Amino acid sequence: MQERERDGRGARLGKSTEARAQAGAGREREAFVPGGKPSHGQEERYEWGKPATFPSNGDASSGGEDGGKGEEKAPTLVAKPNFGLTGALAQDAQTGNVYKGVVLKWSEPDDARLPSRGWRLYVFKEGELKDTLHLHRQSAYLVGRHGVADLKVEHPSCSKQHAVLQFRQKQEGAEVKPYLMDLESVNKTRLNGEEVPPARYVELRAQDTIQFGLSSREYVLMHESLVGSS
């Protein structure tokens, strides 16, 4: 385990909330082997809604479609009734973690759990709130441009499987906490302005700000007890 200190940035929520808040230190990191097979005997997994139609497989390259700058569209979660997202992960004994024919770049850990709080991502661009994404129906959310992603980002600098938000319970009876892992993306993932090391889980805290690739959009993590019900 390694620990790092980081500067916190807060969230500007709605018209009445302003500025960033200081985020805490002491994030946990764990080594991760990309493309590893999920272990057998994991807890029962849940399927969340009817999956979307996915394009062909692929990943980012520094000189290709993922490596440049360009105009971006608003980020979207794959829309399903009652936030039923494409989070079901199929297991294949030969190829590892596969969903709709696409080999995923990560496997959920044994301590993956559904979040016990109503976590949300508030999406800002140039100081304006663009969207609110609810993160309470799944134990993990894949971020990227590929159709298999749960949280779709459209900026061309983002990889097709860019990063993952993973909820974990490190000890029995402990709080389920959110973690972020960059999936060895070309243009990196930033947390409160600092690059996240690839292929390692980093614990997230409320009011953290995440950016993917070269996109100017900021994703501010909050939970319902801080912002009230909406």
Task: Give per-residue burial for 150-166: e unless 16+ CB within 10 Å, then b.
Answer: bbbbebbbbbbbbbbbb
Once rounded to an integer, what is the mean pLDDT over residues 213-223? 96
Helix (H) / strand (E) element for 209: namely strand 209-212
CATH among 2.40.50.100, 3.30.470.10, 2.60.200.20, 3.30.450.190 for 29-34+72-227? 2.60.200.20
Sort strands 140-144 and 151-152 into parallel, antiparallel or unpaired. Answer: parallel
What pLDDT is stored for residue 218 in this prediction?
A: 98
Amino acid identity, position 184: E
Residue 56: pLDDT band by 50, 70, 90 thresholds? very low
- Residues 84, 30: Cα–Cα separation, whole Å: 29
Handedness of CA 89, 90, 91, 92 (dihedral sign): negative
pTM: 0.61
- Residues 218, 178: Cα–Cα separation, whole Å: 17
Share of the chain above pLDDT 90, in %: 50
What pLDDT is stored for residue 97 in this prediction?
A: 80
What pLDDT is stored for residue 101 in this prediction?
A: 84
User: At residue 227, what are phi and psi to the nearest 5 degrees?
Assistant: -115, -5
Residues 6 or more apart from 76 whose CB is under 8 A from it?
A: 131, 151, 152
pLDDT tens digits for range 93-137: 455 688 878 889 999 999 999 999 999 999 999 999 999 999 999
Contact yes or no for 189/195 (Cβ under 8 A): yes
What pLDDT is stored for residue 78 in this prediction?
A: 54
